[in-house]
């Protein structure tokens, strides 16, 4: 599989509230970190609990790769997400460090400023 195809498929699995599909891209002993989990979450079964809750609250967000920078163990991914909140959408940009082994993600660190998203959730129609 080509790296771009893998990343595009994986990003698509973040939409539509399909946590099992999303988890299929991760290795059993993976590590995941994002702004809500700055210490990170280890192991697929623990990440499953977080992803199920996160995706159920954001079933219609849309993730797109802006740039994929290959690295020795995977890539650095610059991305854009559109998150519906109330009658509007929040557009955020961020980056992931993605490490891959045998086409399974072994490490996924997500970095972005979630302030605009939190503000939109607190005041959804402003």
- Output the six-digit token pair for 35: 């702004």
Give pLDDT tens digits for 81-121: 999 998 899 999 999 999 999 999 999 999 999 999 999 99
Q: Write down the pLDDT at residue 109.
A: 99
> Structural domain tally of the chain?
1
User: Is residue 39 packed enough to be buried (19+ CB in 10 Å), middle (13-18) or exposed (0-12)?
Assistant: exposed
Q: Write down the pLDDT at residue 123.
A: 83
Question: How far, in Å, CA of 17 to CA of 45, rounded?
Answer: 17
Give pLDDT tens digits for 40-76: 999 999 999 999 999 999 999 999 999 999 999 999 9
Q: Which domain holds residue 76?
A: 3-122
Residues facing 61 on adjacent strands: none
Residues 6+ apart with CB under 8 A from 5: none
Sheet containing 74-85: order of strands: 37-42, 26-34, 104-111, 88-101, 74-85, 62-71
CATH number at residue 20: 3.10.450.50
Question: How far, in Å, CA of 18 to CA of 54, rounded?
Answer: 11
Give pLDDT tens digits for 7-49: 999 999 999 999 999 999 999 999 999 999 999 999 999 999 9
């Amino acid at each position: 599989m080509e790296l771009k195809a893998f990343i595009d498929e994986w990003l698509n699995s973040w939409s539509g509230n399909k946590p099992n599909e999303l988890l299929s891209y991760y290795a059993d002993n993976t590590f995941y970190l994002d702004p809500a989990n700055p210490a990170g979450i280890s192991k697929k079964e623990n990440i499953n609990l977080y992803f199920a809750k996160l995706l159920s609250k954001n079933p219609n967000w849309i993730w797109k790769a802006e740039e994929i920078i290959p690295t020795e163990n995977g890539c650095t991914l610059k991305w854009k997400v559109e998150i519906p909140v109330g009658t509007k959408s929040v557009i955020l940009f961020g980056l992931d460090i993605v490490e891959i082994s045998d086409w399974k993600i072994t490490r996924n660190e997500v970095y972005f400023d979630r302030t605009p998203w939190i503000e939109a959730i607190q005041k959804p129609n402003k």
